[in-house]
Amino acid sequence: MTDSDSPQLLRPRALRPGDLVVIASLSGPLPAMYEPHVEQTVAVLKRWGFRVRRAPLLDVGRQRWWSAATPAEIAAELNGLLRDPEVRAIIAADGGMTAFGYLDLVDLDAVRADPKPILGYSDISLLHLALYARTGLVGFHADMAVPGFGGHWQTAPPERRAELEALYQKLLTGTEAIGALPASPSWECWRAGQAEGRLIGGVVNRLALVQATRFAVPLEWFDGAVLFWEEMGGHTSHVWTYLQVLRHAGILDRISGMVVGVPREIAGLESPGASPSLAEIVLDVLGDRDIPVLGNVEFGHAGPNLPMPVGLRAGLDAGRRTLALLEPATR
């Protein structure tokens, strides 16, 4: 991708001590069992020096179908946060199945006028992709309250948690590139090679589905991109099918590299010797495309998330099992 073809990135202002961060229900409801996760998230954010508020829809017992509220109500609350100059970042409480219902209701002018970090994954990756496509906003595909900061972080080994805390604070408050993300023994080279390009991705089903709407990421933005994706639930055949959709859409012909997250609860992958493995599925769909693939990277549903900011330039060396963020996410 040349600079003339690149989207103009919209970077939020870096957070400062005392800034207000709001935890909001951007999709699913808050079951009583996860209220402690929200309380732990508040504690984490306060320890980082931020003021924290809970948005009104984040209330135990509030539910409409599979959502915290109607799509219009969620959009109204989100738009209020986007328009409020005091609010400097928005953290999703959880994922779910609602964002498709309000993509057309988000105040894009408010996003452009005062871009803010929105943190989350799962259904929230849909919001990142749509806002990136429409405004160039950097999407913070990163942990959220449930089960992230309030769950997975609390059970992680102390050294890993310390590593993540330093990483997230640098991501949100720093104006320099993160550089190499902390690797782990789980990372696997599925196809060697090097690539450099903009990170685009999220949950693979949301990525495939959003491309069927008017909120699709323009196809040419995938030129040279590093595609990242993960998945939770379903069956291995579903993953294969979503990747085939990306192939038919022309995305796999344009990307320069791929990073695959740790899968969770996918039928067919329960045992270590399962066939096909996730690596076999990926390589089957890629065919003879000479694209480096780094697998089993810690982002998504399987545990504490490494941040994967949508739109940022990344450097990938699958053979050496390294992944680096080459630009700052904030300004």
Pick from 139, 156, 173: which residue ends a domain?
A: 173
Is 15 within a domain?
A: no
d(CA 315, CA 229): 16
Residues 156 and 183 in one domain: no
12 domain-assigned: no
Instruction: Please count the structural domains in the chain.
Output: 2
On whether both 105 and 141 belong to a single domain, the answer is yes
Cα atoms in the Cβ-side hemisphere of radius 13 Å centred on 209: 16
- How far apart are the two ends of the chain, measured CA to CA in Å? 23
- Can you give the pLDDT of all 331 residues of the chain as single tens digits? 444 456 799 999 999 999 999 999 999 999 999 999 999 999 999 999 999 999 999 999 999 999 999 999 999 999 999 999 999 999 999 999 999 999 999 999 999 999 999 999 999 999 999 999 999 999 999 999 999 999 999 999 999 999 999 999 999 999 999 999 999 999 999 999 999 999 999 999 999 999 999 999 999 999 999 999 999 999 999 999 999 999 999 999 999 999 999 999 999 998 888 899 999 999 999 999 999 999 999 999 988 999 999 999 999 999 999 999 999 999 9
- With respect to residue 192, please indicate whether it lies within any of the assigned structural domains: yes
Q: How much is the pTM?
A: 0.96
- CA distance linking residue 318 with residue 291, whole number of Å: 10
Q: Are residues 124 and 186 in the same domain?
A: no
Q: Is 156 exposed, middle or buried (0-12, 13-18, 19+ CB in 10 A)?
A: middle
Q: Are residues 167 and 37 in the same domain?
A: yes
Helix (H, G, I), strand (E, B) or coil at 110: helix
Residues 183, 130 share a domain: no
Report phi then psi at 187, rounded to 5. -65, 135
Are the C-beta atoms of residues 95 and 124 closer than 8 Å to each other? yes
CB 328 within 8 A of CB 140: no
Six token digits for residue 305: 């998330």
- List the CATH number of the domain containing 150: 3.40.50.10740
Whole-number Å distance between alpha carbons of 101 and 74: 9
Answer whether residue 2 is part of any domain: no
Give domain status of residue 295, yes or no: yes
Helices 278-286/236-248 angle, 10° precision: 20
Same domain for 266 and 189: yes
Residue 6 domain-assigned? no
Question: Is the Cβ–Cβ distance between 187 and 321 less than 8 Å?
Answer: yes
Among 108, 81, 122, residue whose Cα is nearest residue 299: 122
Domain identity same for 130 and 54: yes
| 137 and 218 both lie in a single domain | no
Residue 141 phi, psi dihedral angles, 5° rounding: -70, 95
How far apart are alpha carbons 183 and 23 in whole angstroms?
Answer: 29
Strand pairing class (139-141; 257-261): unpaired
Judgement on whether residues 103 and 221 belong to the same structural domain of the protein: no
Q: What is the pLDDT of residue 2?
A: 45
Phi and psi (nearest 5°) for 179? Answer: 80, -150
If asked whether residues 24 and 161 sit together in one domain, one would say yes
Amino acid at 159: E
Distance in angstroms (rounded) separating the CA atoms of residues 2 and 40: 43
Q: CATH code at 231?
A: 3.50.30.60
- pLDDT attached to residue 261: 98
Residues β-bridged to residue 86: none
Is 8 contained in some domain?
no
Domain of 124, in residue numbers: 20-173
The answer to whether residues 160 and 195 belong to one domain is no
Which of 142, 173, 204 is the last residue in one of the domains? Answer: 173
Domain boundary, last residue among 155, 173, 191: 173
* Residue 191 forms part of a structural domain: yes
DSSP secondary structure code for residue 147 in this structure: I
Q: 237 and 158 share a domain?
A: no
